[in-house]
Amino acid sequence: MSTEPTTELKQDLKAQIIKHLNLQDRTVESIADDTPLFGEGLGLDSIDVLELIVLMDRQYGVRISDPQEGRTVFQNVTTMAEHILAKR
Amino acid sequence: MSILASTAYHDGAFTSAGVRFACVDGDADQRLAAAWNQLRIDYPRFHRADRLSRLLLLSAAPFFEANGALAACDPETIGMLLCTCTGSMESDARYQALLRDEGVASPALFVPTLPSIALGELSIRHGLHGSGVCLMMPAPSASALAPAIGMLKQQGMRHIVCGWADTFASHARSAFAAIALETWADTHLNQLQSLFDEH
């Protein structure tokens, strides 16, 4: 099975992130696939990570319980999408 | 003068430095956002905060603008005093509704189910490192705030952002003052109460 995320999945992820984290100043188009989720990118914080973990579980059926795994997964939209494909 | 500046918000109408603007369209969140946008402050985190925090951020913003009453003050000695009746009830209701309707908990919604989180948001926004007090009371009462003001002064605070913020359902209301504690005396409580009564 291919682990190359589709554009559709990444677009859907961006929309979900905007909706669940209430990023009113962002649009799907304004978030690049490799925009960092933290720091100078989307500027998310530790509470947002918890929200992303819930989002991954609810929307995509993927659970993240290992903090080290989270560091790898929550770098940008591409890494999130790759993880979803790998774990589905 | 101990009360250096004041602001007030009442369901869409925001008053600061004698200037009043109002937005009567939309729901409570839209009116609050419209008032914030009038200030032309680029701070995306505002829109992501819970409503009590947004009300406090809006109310205190003019104090920290260029030439604002607290703009040049040491953030280490700026304290915060918030009193509220409904507190975090707006967030509590949203959190409970999500649990009821979708059976899941939202970390982002859970955090502001403590009203004192609003003080944290204000601290983050303006880099304040002073002490904060959040009190629940049925109506704004300056005399009830007196012990807390005294305590903040004892702790070395030289200025405080002090006021009332209350929001639930379609209602959102606040009255805030920037206060200099060095010259503060309980005789100033009447001025603070007048601010609360006017709004």
Looking at this predicted complex, what is its ipTM? 0.75
End-to-end Cα separation, chain B, in angstroms? 21
Please give, rounded to a whole number of angstroms, the shortest distance from the CA of B29 to a CA of chain A: 13
Give me the residue from A21, A50, A54 closest to B48, CB to CB.
A21
Residue A65: per-residue pLDDT? 84
End-to-end Cα separation, chain A, in angstroms? 10
List CB contacts (< 8 A) between A51 and chain B. 106-108
The percent of residues above 90 in pLDDT, for chain B, comes to 86
SS3 assignment, position B22: strand
Task: Give the span between the Cα atoms of A53 and A36, in whole angstroms.
Answer: 16
Residue B107 has pLDDT above 80, yes or no: yes
CB-CB contact of B118 with B134 (8 Å) = yes
* Superfamily classification of domain A7-87: ACP-like (1.10.1200.10)
Give me the residue from A24, A25, A51 closest to B106, CB to CB.
A51
Other C-beta atoms closer than 10 Å to the C-beta of B77 total 18
Q: Architecture of B3-198 per CATH?
A: 3-Layer(aba) Sandwich (3.40)
pTM of the model: 0.90
List CB contacts (< 8 A) between A70 and chain B. none
Residue A3: per-residue pLDDT? 62
Residue B18: per-residue pLDDT? 84
Which pair of tokens denotes residue B26? 């939309």
Tens of pLDDT, residue by residue over A31-81, are 999 999 998 899 898 889 999 999 999 999 999 988 888 889 999 999 999
Residue B111 has pLDDT above 70, yes or no: yes
Residue B104: per-residue pLDDT? 84
CB-CB contact of B37 with B46 (8 Å) = no
Residue B186 has pLDDT above 90, yes or no: no
Q: Is B47 on the interface with A (CB under 8 A)?
A: yes
Interface of B with A in 98-127 (CB under 8 A): 102, 104-108, 111
Q: Is A50 on the interface with B (CB under 8 A)?
A: yes
Shortest CA distance to A87 belongs to which of A60, A50, A54?
A60
Q: What does the domain layout of chain A look like in residue ranges?
A: 7-87
Q: Do B107 and A54 touch (CB under 8 A)?
A: yes
Residue B28: per-residue pLDDT? 94
Q: Do A22 and B106 touch (CB under 8 A)?
A: no
